[in-house]
Structure 1
């Protein structure tokens, strides 16, 4: 199906080591230039760092502050008599369906040899019984 590709690379070679090997000279030149610049003007960079931290503090409590929105509670009009009647009707329907499915399962299990159609019918009936049982819990 898929052709497996075998690689004979050295396990010590990583992406970082290869990038460092290729561009290490440029990174060291940039690092040395940055150190000389910071060494020449340390107070300026310290002041910039403090100003940026202060700006971050101010922005985090003003512009980027997202207050939690209060959840609106919706009050449903509940009629306990109607709700109880609906539950009784649903339970009655579940009992009737359970009795029908029990008859189907009993008739299929009484057979000596099951056909493919019988097996499918038995499997679907047992699945439906388990779903009804889960709704009752």
Structure 2
């Protein structure tokens, strides 16, 4: 059967820790540059933060607001006799098609080796059967 693969990996080693270890120099450079920038221009960074928060507030209530579409309820006149008869006819045609497809699938699976056309026909028949099954639910 299937054999288990044993790994001697340290469980503390994760993807994040490996990336952090590999690129630690770049992370340190970025951290130092951010600290120097924030230390040199604190009022500018605070002003940018306030402006971005105000812009976010304005955009969230204007541009990104999606008003609910008005619900249109159309009143349909439904004749229960006609509707029931059409459902019966639909169910009958689904049953007939299912029986036809079942015979087709049985005849194709009885063959020893399938040709290209047979496998395509079998695939389309199984797809159609699954679609019919989904409409019945």
- TM-score class normalised by the smaller sequence: 0.5 to 0.7
Aligned to 1:10: 26
Match of 1:123 in 2: 123
Q: How far apart, in 2, do the equivalents of 1:108 and 1:88 lie?
A: 30
Q: Distance in 2 between matches of 1:68 and 1:29?
A: 39
In structure 1, the partner of 2:132 is: 132
Distance 1:115 1:78, change over 3 A: same
1-side partners of 2:29 and 2:71: how far apart? 54
Among 11, 25, 28, the alignment partner of 2:40 is 25
| 1:28-48 Cα shifts (integer Å, max 9, x gaps) | 5898xxxxxxxxxxxxxxxxx
Which residues of structure 2 form unaligned runs of 5+? 1-21, 47-66
Give SS of 1:10's match. helix
C-alpha root-mean-square deviation of aligned residues, in Å?
Answer: 3.2
Give, in whole Å, the separation in 1 of the partners of 2:95 and 2:45: 79
Q: Answer with 1 or 2: which has the greater Rg.
A: 1
Alpha-carbon distance in 2 for matches of 1:75, 1:105: 44
Q: 1:52-71 counterparts in 2 under 5 A?
A: 71=71
Question: CA–CA distance in 2 between the matches of 1:89 and 1:108?
Answer: 29
TM-score scaled by length of structure 1: 0.55
CA distance in 1, matches of 2:104, 2:68: 56
Paired position in structure 2 for 1:64: none
- Shift in alpha-carbon separation, 1:69–1:97, aligned structure 2, 3 A: closer
Structure 1: stretches of 5+ with no match in the other structure: 1-5, 32-66
